[in-house]
Amino acid sequence: MTFPDKKFADVAAYFDAYAKRLAAAAASVDRSALARAAAILDDAYARHAGVFACGNGGSASISNHLVCDHLKGVQTDTEVRPHVHSLATNMELLTAIANDLSYDDVFVYQLRTLAKAGDVLITISSSGDSENVVRAATWAQGNGLKVIAFTGFDGGRTAGLATAHLHVAGDNYGVIEDAHQSVMHVLAQYLRQARMNEGRIAQRKF
């Protein structure tokens, strides 16, 4: 059964039902996979390895937001200097690749140009099955990059390509994307506080 599966009489009732689904989605995240993702990112940041993120639609906005929280946020009050890039941010480049080659290649084209073995790819896709995301993850897996895959629904093809698969149980795009955004924030804030002086944590806003 999908959400919603009926008409709601008022927005408050819809909000309550939505919030219940969002809580269930957050609770469904595999904690061992979350720990693997945190370790992968922590290691990449310590090595000054490149971390690339990609996604379509709402997931593209999470990919772009991730750069802010993981590049600026993680290094605040720490010695970490992350190298984080969104493959969904340059409209001129995206449209050139899509127009001249294929929209399916908009992310993998950039990876082939910019990435190297030891880097990390973060894919954000509710379906886990967007062709451009799958192509990027396939290339990354075959070229020495670790893949952190954010997915929902049934996980799609990227589930099988992930080094760390961060799946949220959900069948509503808004719920899945909200849960993905929360996981993205959790990873950034956890890595920041892990490298901060103990006494400074309570003095700062996260």
CB crowding 160-198: b at 16 or more within 10 Å, else e: ebbbbbbbbbbbbeebbbbbbbebbbebbebbbbeeeee
Question: Does residue 180 belong to any structural domain of this protein?
Answer: yes
Statement: residue 47 has pLDDT above 90: yes
Look up residue 204 and give its two tokens. Answer: 């700062």
Sign of CA dihedral 150, 156, 158, 161: positive
Task: Give percent above pLDDT 70 in the chain.
Answer: 100
Residues in the chain: 206
Q: Report the pLDDT value the prediction gives residue 199, as an integer from 0 to 100.
A: 87
> Where in the sequence is the domain holding 165, given as residue range(s)?
30-197
The set of residues, in sequence order, having a beta carbon less than 8 Å from that of 153 and lying 6+ positions away, is: 126, 127, 128, 170, 171, 176
d(CA 29, CA 150): 10
Distance of CA 143 to the CA centre of its chain: 20
Residue 162 within any structural domain of the chain = yes
| CA pair distance 149, 161, nearest whole angstrom | 8
pLDDT single digits (tens) 130-174: 999 999 999 999 999 999 999 999 999 999 999 999 999 999 999
pLDDT at 1 over 80: no
> Is 105 within a domain?
yes
Task: Please count the structural domains in the chain.
Answer: 1
Residue 160 lies in a domain: yes
Look at residue 205 and tell me whether its pLDDT is greater than 90: no
CATH number for the domain spanning 132: value is: 3.40.50.10490
Sheet holding 164-167, edge to edge: 83-86, 50-55, 120-124, 146-151, 164-167
- 98 within domain boundaries: yes
Q: Is residue 6 part of a domain?
A: no
- Residue for token digits 């290339």? 139
Q: What pLDDT was estimated at residue 149?
A: 98
For residue 4, being part of any structural domain is answered with no
- Whether the predicted pLDDT of 21 surpasses 90: yes
At 36 the pLDDT is 98
The answer to whether position 206 is within a domain reads no
pLDDT tens figures, 53-104: 999 999 999 999 999 999 999 999 999 999 999 999 999 999 999 999 999 9
What pLDDT is recorded for position 29?
98
Whether residue 105 has pLDDT greater than 90: yes
Q: What is the pTM of this model?
A: 0.96
